[in-house]
Amino acid sequence: MSQITDLSFSELKKALGDRTLSSVDITNAFLDRIETLNPTLNAFITITHDEAMQAAKEADAAISNGTATAYTGLPIAHKDLFCTDGTLTTCGSKILSNFVAPYDAHVVSQCKNAGLVSLGKLNMDEFAMGSSNENSYYGPVKNPWDTTRVPGGSSGGSAAAVAAQLTPLATATDTGGSIRQPAAFTGTSGLKPTYGRVSRFGMIAYASSLDQGGLIAHTAEDVAHGLGLIAGHDSRDSTSANQPVPDYTETLNDSLKGKVIGIPKQFFDDRLDSRMRHAMDDVLEVFKSLGATTIEVSLDHVAEAIPAYYVIAPAEASANLSRFDGVRFGYRADSPADLMDLYERSRGEGFGSEVKRRILIGTYALSEGYYDAYYKKAQQIRRLIRDDFNRALSSCDLLFGPTTPSTAFVLGEKTADPVAMYLEDIYTVATNMAGLPGGSFQAPLIDGLPTGYQLTGRAFGESMILNAAHQVQLATDWHTLRPEGV
């Protein structure tokens, strides 16, 4: 008999609906498990035990008196850059280590309104800058599959929490790969929606034109449920798309017969590790067995996505993070001598090294004399990349590729050289530049460690991505594997 915490979000939904489990049962089970495992994994920064129990009780009451929604009483945890009213919201940073948010992010209130029970706030790379969750003020997150390894980043806490079954569903964000890469490293399913699909109101900004809120869970079906709750127009976010939200679960079972899958040749060159290639081929075989065909496509400028990203994202971040100045909220340095000292020390002491590096690069790229060569050039390359994707997706339904160059690397392995870390994003970054939806789903293990394959769709084509991934999950068992020893 499996434990409650073994169940996926969809399975728990069914159990609540059947009344075989109560929200209090479920919430207790996950809170116990968090208590046991979090000291090792460090996936949670804040565990909202009492609030969760209270919400669970209220959920059970609503269920019994018939005022519940289809999702009332189900657990979720939020990446710690979503503002949660009355609860610490740190962004993994010392500069917000005392920041009790005075309002809820749109994503958070959508979940609350649906009756979800929030278990707590998840660890992350500071201000979403990182690919390993080693940049957190609260210490690194460990990969449940091998605690000497990273879970990926920046949504390392979200991915590790789901993989270790501390929560069946977690919100996360992706600016250059921060949902997809940790999902691949931890054997979970993760989706970054189309830019503008999910409101950024209350989602503390890193790079405004690239950030997008999404989800990590065990299966595509789970993600489909969650996406329906958090997607939708929000007039408080000017970049929020006014597009209707379909029922993502409705189309999960569409047949893949005749679907065309594009294989960008740039993703399958000599640089791709042979075992990763082998794992990807296994996935492609499944797609073909389900009736899909493959064609080769080209994303001519995809190699420039990384340099362009590492100009645009830091540039936008350098301005977005200016508000952290010790004046109205957050960390303020002790006994500042004058205003300059207040700013320099609050920010110097409050930000970690990676954040400072990106602020400096970003400031430099925007500074007098360098704007054209850096920022403007990067935005031009962005258009070329976006057009490449649109062109490729006009001849196929989905793009396919590996999510990461390898399986999860060891803690400390890439921290000496920032650029080595940046190159981890090589398969994911271009999708954010193009603003398109992308998901990572479980592929065969390599040496006992998870891998992920990536699907990229047309704008607002999340249904197709989840449908394809779900069909693969029905035909395989990679998504059922769990780390041992946790």
- Give the residue with the Cβ less far from another protein, 166 or 426: 426
Q: Name the minimum Å distance from CB 398 to another protein.
A: 18
Looking at 10, 22, 23, 79, which residue is catalytic? 79
- Which residue's CB is nearer to another protein, number 324 or number 453? 324
Catalytic residue among 178, 189, 240, 346: 178
Tell me the closest approach of the beta carbon of residue 105 to another protein, in angstroms.
6
Residue (6 or 304) nearer to another protein, CB: 304
The minimum distance between CB 341 and another protein, in angstroms, equals 7
Distance of alpha carbon 272 from alpha carbon 266, whole angstroms? 10
**Least CB distance to another protein at residue 339 (A):** 5
Q: How far is the CB of 286 from another protein (least distance, A)?
A: 30
Is 288 a catalytic site residue? no
Nearest to 188 by CA among 476, 464, 440: 440
Whether 79 sits among the annotated catalytic residues: the reply is yes
Residue with Cβ nearer another protein (121 or 301): 301
Nearer to another protein by Cβ, of 131 and 188: the residue is 131
Is residue 154 annotated as a catalytic residue, yes or no? yes
Minimum CB separation of residue 317 from another protein in Å reads: 10
State the catalytic residue, choosing from 118, 154, 155, 199: 154
Task: Using alpha carbons, select from 464, 472, 459 the residue that is nearest to residue 212.
Answer: 459
Residue 468 Cα to chain centre, angstroms: 19
- Residue (112 or 356) nearer to another protein, CB: 356
Just list the catalytic residues: 79, 154, 178
